[in-house]
Structure 1
Amino acid sequence: MSDQPFWAAEDHPKRPLRVENGVQIHSSRGTVARTWWSRRFLAVLEELGVGGRLARGRSYARSGQIVSCEIDAGSVVALVQGTRPTPYKVRIGIPAWGKEEWGRAEQALAADAWYAATLLAGGMPTEIEELFAGLGLALFPTSQRDLTMDCTCPDATVPCKHLAAVFYLLAERFDADPFEVLALRGRDKDTLLANLRRRRGSGAAPEPEADRPVTPLGELLDSFYEAPAADLTRFAPARPAPGALLDQVSELPIAVRGRRVRDLLRPAYTHLAAD
């Protein structure tokens, strides 16, 4: 970024230029993050000293100043419209895991039926961060070295309002699709689920019934009706994000005052979920 402050150029308007059909967050007020993984993402930014400056981009994110945003392995690239005619290019980098690291991660996920079932159902297990930590892997950045930020705007402050707006958008996108978090670390949803199915299906063949030791029924009567010592709460179904149904249907080929019908309906779904 340039050392020249963004207000130095007097020939540019103070208000950002409006964007037609810009990408915007759907939360008009209050907290953006609704799920544990999205809240954890913003909490990590706070711990790294970034969160205190995120409010600078809230109005940008809510007014649709983001022209585009693409998440790929290790990077987020976005275009954000500011006060100048040309949108600013925003880059956010997080190191992607390599083949060996993802091999260990997928094996650990596939080995536990709870993790595999939750992911295959489209959810994010609450203990997944601890599982990765046990493998020496961090789902979210752990230091400033794990997070790079850059914007082509002249504002010297990091993050600038354009970067902050993209962080808000990421938090909401993580709410809608937890697999975007894993995509940043280098594994897209389709590849991850395909690898989990393959690993779950390639386990060792079950032991033949005839070769298994058989315990006489009389020795099992004292404990036959006892419930197994298991925490059944971890098998609770994953709760879908509000508005997830809207993301499953095709977009209507009409618009209301320039806005998509899906975007107009989403606040109603969020309100119903809150009730």
Structure 2
Amino acid sequence: MNPYDPTERPGSHLVTETFGVTNPWMLTENYSSSDPRDLTGRAVAEAARNLDVLHDELRRAARTAIELLAPVEQGSPAGLPDRYGVLQEIGQRVEVLAARRGAAYAQLKGVVDTYRRVQAAPAPAQPSREAAQAPGRDDDWALDGQRQLRALEAVEAGGLRYCRTGFGDHYVGGVHPSDPAIWPTTIERCIADGLIVPDTSASLYDGQPLSLTDQGVAALRDSRATSSLVSAALRRTSTVTGSSPRAGAGPHTPSPPPAASKSPRSR
């Protein structure tokens, strides 16, 4: 039986109905922090929590609007003109929250689909004992793959905010539903590394705008250069593979090797 009421916690209710767990965070159990199933499970749990928080804020704003309009329903409009400004503000807040909740729902559906695909994929190979014992930070997983590059690019584009819910949990606001998810842990790691700086003059509950430091700009430039080199190498590999001689075809003349280039160091 689903323990979550869809009218109160629609995010948690959706995850429970989809995966049969009693708590969305159970999707991350039994996996190492570097396992894709753990990473995508965290994305699902955080997206569900974000939807629940926005849904609750929307319900409270709607209740406030209903209370302000109660005199009209009761046929007593006395004093209503004094409330026009408040009603306008509440109306705008309801509209914004409704749009944010819709975006949060779309994001949750996206990460749920991603988690399904990861579950269906073969389990990743376990690291060797030497690799497991190698020194490193316990949040290095937050930078795996293209996560740091995506985070830096999103901050450069503008509109990204570091936020805190009423429950004390952090999340990243301002991410477009069609864009890849940005992990709050990735943002926190980039802040700790001096790549991103939050505007601490703003409230965490409203969201602190994020911007790149000079070091972050340099890291983004280097990451893009490295990514371009990797993409070019993959294209060259694909071209070489696709141009293999077929049976009955004439002799294949290999292309001259590309000029050697030195990859830039990552900072």
TM-score scaled to structure 1, two decimals?
Answer: 0.23
Tell which has more relative contact order, 1 or 2 (C-alpha 8 A, sep 6+): 1
Which structure's CA Rg is the greater one? 2
